[in-house]
Amino acid sequence: MGIRHLRTLLAIAETGSFQAAAERLGLTHSAVSMQMKAFEEELQSQLFDRSRRPPDLSQAGKRLLPKAREILALYESLSEAGSREEDLSGLLRLGAIPSATASFLPEALAQLGQRHPRLQIRLESGLSTELTRELLNGKLDCIIITQAQRLDEALKATVLRRERLVVVARNTEENQKVSEGEDGDIDLLNHLPFVRFNHLTGVGRVIEQNLRSRGANLREVMELDSLDAIQRMVAKGLGAAIIPESGLDSGSDLLAVPFGKPVATRTVSLVEKHRGQRPDLTQALTQTLLTLLGSPELPINGSIRYP
């Protein structure tokens, strides 16, 4: 078994066909086919279902993928094993929720790149559940997500920040009056149609749990997963929404009141495997983020009212 067999196997899995893998690797279709035939003979296992066109990975082939990724990552790190920490290199496969990519992550990656110019980062944006699945499958090295209450036992988390949630609505005199009561957040949500943050996102689940615990029965009119789109809808008077305070556009003129008693929060964390493939790279990113963001703690009963 050679490294080239593993590279070819992963290329087929990622591109979906022998031909596409051949184009990526600069080989002929027949060369890829011969490599995989030899690999199957060596392992004495059928890695592909050739009754399909194009051939698809068999169950044995799918079981082999995580190990193949792990072996390749270790092999690629050999040349970097003796390098100094301040001269990190290699590829860090990072996943992040959209709210992170639109706020603090660009600055963190810029700082990391300046400190380690030979470091390469491949960034993928997605929902917390999708990114967690890819991390467990070995497709990503670390992820920045809204942390679930319970993590898989194979994973560990470093808290980056805790963000308060706010109810936002168009800033009108009527909405201000509605929100001034003891339960102003729920009153405002009952007064207006509800623009929901995608319930499949991490923050969407936090919002749903809090609404359910308070017995809220809202008039839902739309469900979106973009903070920018939600704020645009709300600014046009199409409803009220619940979003992380950090997601508020600094240039917007929206009424914002705290959601929940005490104020509900979401926890944004960097999550990785206990036995990750590139802990040195993940640690460098973690330290950069912690330095940039400062303490994640905040007073969850802190007052919020804008403008």
**42/246: higher pLDDT:** 42
Phi and psi torsions of 27, nearest 5°: -115, 170
Token pair in block for residue 86: 């301040």
Report pLDDT digits (tens) over 108-146. 999 999 999 999 999 999 989 899 999 998 899 999 998
Report pLDDT digits (tens) over 150-160. 888 889 999 99
Report pLDDT digits (tens) over 143-179. 999 887 788 888 999 999 888 899 999 999 999 999 9
Report pLDDT digits (tens) over 224-263. 988 889 999 999 999 999 998 878 876 678 999 999 888 8
**Is 22:32 a contact under the CB 8 Å cutoff?**
yes
**Is 55:18 a contact under the CB 8 Å cutoff?**
yes
Which residue is listed with tokens 């068999």? 58
| Three-state DSSP class for residue 306 | strand
Among 3-7, 177-181, 302-306, whose mean pLDDT is lowest? Answer: 302-306
Q: What angle do CA 300, 224, 96 make, to 5 degrees?
A: 65
Residue 85 has pLDDT above 60, yes or no: no
Residue 303 has pLDDT above 50, yes or no: no
Report the pLDDT value the prediction gives residue 238, as an integer from 0 to 100.
Answer: 95
Residue 12 has pLDDT above 80, yes or no: yes
Residue 62 has pLDDT above 80, yes or no: yes
Report the pLDDT value the prediction gives residue 302, as an integer from 0 to 100.
Answer: 43
